[in-house]
Chains A and B, each alone.
Chain A
C-alpha cells in the first residue's frame, strides 16, 4: 500500500487516470508538500480537472499509485459553470452544505453551524449576502460562496477548478489575494487555470499538462517556456520576461520569436491612461498584494 512521506500531502506516481475506460492522463508523477500553492495549466480538454479531481480520488485509476495523506480535509470548489443557478438556495445555505457531516442525521443546522458559516462568509466579505439567493450573485460573489462551502470544513487541501473564470480583473485580483491569504495561513492550494498571464505567472509552482501527461512541473520561469507551451497548446507562444513578471502571448508562425525564443522586455513601455495622484498610489498598493511566488 502506498504511503506519503511526512513532509508530503499528495503523492501521485506513474499514475494513469480517466473515466469509463478512457485514459485522460498517463505517467503522472506529482508530489505536493503541505503549504504549497500550485496552478495546473494547459489547453481545454488536456486533463486539468481530471488531475485536480484525482486528489479527491474520483477518476478511475488505471496505473500507478495515488495517495493523499491520511486525515487530510479536502475542500473543493467546482467551476461555476457547472452549478444550477436557479436552484432555490441562499448563500448561507450553500456554505452550510460544506458541513453536512455535522449532525448528519438531522435536517436542520445548529446555531454553532450557522455562526461558523457567518464567520467564514465574513472572512470572504460576503456576510451581508448570507440570505440572498445564489441566482442574484455576481461572478465574484458566486466564487466566494463556493469557496465558503469549501472553507467551512477547515480544509488542509483546497482544490479550485478555474476559480477566476468569467470574472473581471478586479474580482480576479481579490480572489487570488484571498487564496494567497489562505495559503499563508497554512492551507495547501491547488487550482486549475486558463489564464497564464493574470493567474498562472503569479503562482509559485505550475504543472503544465499536454499530450495526455505532465509536460513540466516547477516555478513559472521554468514552466512558461516557449517549447513547453508549444507542446501543450500546439501553437507557438511568445514569452516575455520582465523582472518577476512573465507574459505569454500566442503568435503566428511567421512572427519573430515564434520558435522557442524568450524575448527580453521591450525597451520602451507605454503606459496609457495611467491615473494620477492617489488612484495610482492605490493601484500600486493593490499590485503589492497580488499573490506572488514568495508567498509559499
Chain B
C-alpha cells in the first residue's frame, strides 16, 4: 500500500492543531488590536497601549499567584488601572501622559514585587512577557474569540460617539455626547484588547500591534472609515502571516508578527517617499516646460 503524498511544504503549518489555533488567534487579535489602535493613534495615546500592557502584566502575575482566573484577574486589573488613569488625568496638574506613566509603572512594579517575593520566574510569567501563542489551547481560543467579539460589538455600538470624541472631544459634549462615558468604555475595551493579546504577543510587543497597522493605514488614506477597514485587514493579515512565517524561520511567533508589521510599515514609508519624489519631479518638469513655453511665446 502506498503512503499518501506529503503535503506541499507551504501547507505544512496547517497540518498541526497548535498552528491552526495560533493562526486563528493571531488573525483575530491582529484585527482587533488594529481596530482599537486606530482610535489610540488618532488620540495620540500610543503610550497608553504600552503602559497598559505592563500594568496588566502586574494583574496577570497577581492572579496567577493567588490562583485566580488569569483572564478575569488581568481584565479587572486593567480596568482598575484605566479608572485610576482617568481619575488622575482629570487633575490639571498631572495630565494624561504622566497619569499613564505613574499608574501603569506602579501596577507593573507590583507584578515584579510579587515575582521577587516568590523568588521564582516561572514559564507562565515568561509567556505573559513575551507571548506564547503556540501554547494556546482550544479553551484559550474560545475565550480570546469571545473577547474579540465583545470588543467588536462595543466598537460597533459606540462607533459614532467614539469617532466624534476622537476627532473633536472639546465639542462632542455640546452635541449631547457624554465624553466621560465614551472614554471610560473605550478604555475598558482597550484593556480587554491588551488582555486578549497578552498570550499572543506578550507585554513587550502589544504596543507595536496596536500602533503599526493603523499608522500604515493612515499613510494610505485620508478617509476615516477606509482607514479603519485597511487597519483591521492589515492587522489580521499580518497576524496570520507572522505566525505562518514563524513556522519556516523558527523564530518566536509574536516577534514575527511585529516584524511583518514593521516590514509593511517600512515598505509603505518607502513607497510613499518614492511617490512624493516622483510627484515633485513631475511638478518641476511641468514648471520647466511651462517656463520654456512662455519664453518661446515671448
Contact = CB atoms under 8 A, between A and B. Distances in A.
Interface of A: 20, 53, 56, 58, 74, 76, 78, 82-84, 87-90, 93-94, 97-98, 100-101, 104-107, 133, 135, 153, 159
A135 B222 contact: yes
Contacts of B171: 76, 78, 82
A37 B167 CA distance: 29
Interface of B: 42, 92, 156-157, 159-161, 163-164, 166-168, 170-171, 173-177, 218, 221-225, 227
A-side binding surface: helix, strand, loop or mixed?
Answer: loop
Nearest to A104: B160
Nearest to B170: A82
14 contacts: A78-B170, A82-B168, A82-B170, A87-B42, A88-B42, A89-B224, A90-B222, A93-B225, A97-B163, A100-B161, A100-B175, A107-B159, A133-B222, A133-B223
A90 B174 contact: no
Contact of A84 (B167, B173, B176, B222): B167
Contacts of A58: 173-174
A130 to B, nearest CB: 12
B168 A83 contact: yes
Given A76-B174, A104-B161, A90 B167 contact: no
A-B pairs, 7 with minimum CB distance? A107-B159, A133-B222, A100-B160, A76-B174, A56-B174, A88-B222, A89-B224
B176 to A, nearest CB: 7
A107 B170 CA distance: 21
B139 to A, nearest CB: 31
B291 to A, nearest CB: 27
B174 A93 contact: no
Given A20-B92, A97-B164, A107-B160, A88 B224 contact: yes
Contacts of A153: 175
A53 B224 CA distance: 28
Given A76-B171, A84-B167, A89-B167, A107 B218 contact: no
Contact of A93 (B173, B175, B176, B224): B224
Contacts of A105: 157
Contacts of A83: 168
Given A89-B167, A100-B164, A56 B173 contact: yes
Contacts of A107: 156, 159-160
Contacts of A87: 42, 166-167, 224
Given A58-B174, A76-B174, A83-B168, A88 B160 contact: no
A105 B160 CA distance: 8
B175 A90 contact: no
Residue among A20, A84, A89 facing the most chain B CB atoms (10 A cut-off): A89
Residue among B166, B175, B227 facing the most chain A CB atoms (10 A cut-off): B175
Nearest to A134: B222
Nearest to A96: B160
Contacts of B42: 87-88
Nearest to A153: B175
A153 B175 CA distance: 10
A89 B223 CA distance: 5
A53 B157 CA distance: 28
Contacts of B225: 93
